Structure 1
């Protein structure tokens, strides 16, 4: 594994365990036996590390959306996509727990997030259209409602973890099941009912 990857893996683990304000670049370097100078050769500032981790997360969601467009169109696919989304939320949990603070602290992340939303709106609307063409989604849903549904998806995936931490504090399978149930309840009004 390359040094840069080791730094990012160590940072991810430490941020997830201790939070972004408790972990310094010295902590990250020490956790993998690097000198501070060696770490700063790869990442000049803490913001650079967080930006790189955010970019990893965005790339993983890009892959998820690409797979969604290529997968079989059925309810099992939606369930599988929700499970993968949950894994990403859990893997990069520090970003989701601290997202507003991170976005205000690092303006490039805030700008990138705005661009991601526009891209995801198109991807999700195309996916919803495919679900309607396959008889899974109702075909009478206006585009404005589809865009509203995308917004709701973002609210859930971006802030479910914070809500969970403040309320139920589910872990493991319980957390996964609650996340998927929340997604399924969001989709329920749009699913075509078969008599």
Structure 2
């Protein structure tokens, strides 16, 4: 049964990426798998349940690093961006989850978890002396909010531009570090320089 659920999620993700979430029907997902719609709805009663499962699956892939380092922060931010690129057609509609009854709170909770993980990572790096003490309280919250909001606009830009995904991610990483750089200590700047030349 788990195998069937996994197959459904894989097929649905592929269809969503090819055609966009709104264009894919439950019948199309079932046809892709060669199963009946009844079998599909046994596992996922509604298409929104598939969207929710895919979003949750993607969130679990964005793992908070065990050790707080600048390379770990770089990797965490990069993974967030890659998630948006990998699922561009699924998440290119910022109102998607607003249109799915019952999903708004779940999506808000997922975003909150990403923000909390980012806050935890930045706070640990500040305590280690990589970031200045000013990166706390409301300033920390504002920086995190700016990063999260920038991801939404960036993802929409990437979905309509012809820029290769890898180049788009590198551009956004540069911009994110441009935002964070003024808060780095001397030690943090040295570590960042080593990271960017590696």
Q: Is the 8 A contact 2:30 2:40 kept in 1?
A: yes
Q: Tell me which moved more, 177-186 or 44-53.
A: 177-186
Partner of 1:99: 94
TM-score (norm 1): 0.83
Q: Deviations over 1:42-98 (max 9, x none)?
A: 11221111121122123233xx22x2xx1242x322222222222222233234201
Which segments of 5 or more consecutive residues in structure 2 lack a partner in the other structure? 190-198
TM-score (norm 2): 0.82
CA distance in 1, matches of 2:114, 2:165: 27
Q: Find 2:131's aligned residue among 124, 128, 137.
A: 137
Count of residue correspondences: 187
Q: Is the 8 A contact 2:8 2:33 kept in 1?
A: yes
The alignment status of 1:149 with 2:143, answered yes or no, reads: yes
Pairing of 1:36-51 with structure 2 (within 5 A): 36-51=37-52
CA distance in 2, matches of 1:173, 1:125: 26
Q: Is the 8 A contact 1:11 1:49 kept in 2?
A: yes
The alignment status of 1:111 with 2:105, answered yes or no, reads: yes
How much does 1:118 deviate? 4.1
What is the DSSP-based 3-state SS (H/G/I as helix, E as strand, rest coil) of the residue aligned with 1:162? helix
Q: 1:124 to 1:81 in 2, by over 3 A?
A: closer
How much does 1:122 deviate? 3.8
Q: 1:16 to 1:81 in 2, by over 3 A?
A: same
Q: Tell me which moved more, 170-179 or 45-54.
A: 170-179
CA distance in 1, matches of 2:93, 2:116: 26
Partner of 2:73: 78
Question: What RMSD over aligned residues (CA atoms) do the two structures have, in Å?
Answer: 2.3
Q: Find 1:169's aligned residue among 162, 166, 172.
A: 162
Q: Deviations over 1:124-161 (max 9, x none)?
A: 33322211222211112341010011111211233321
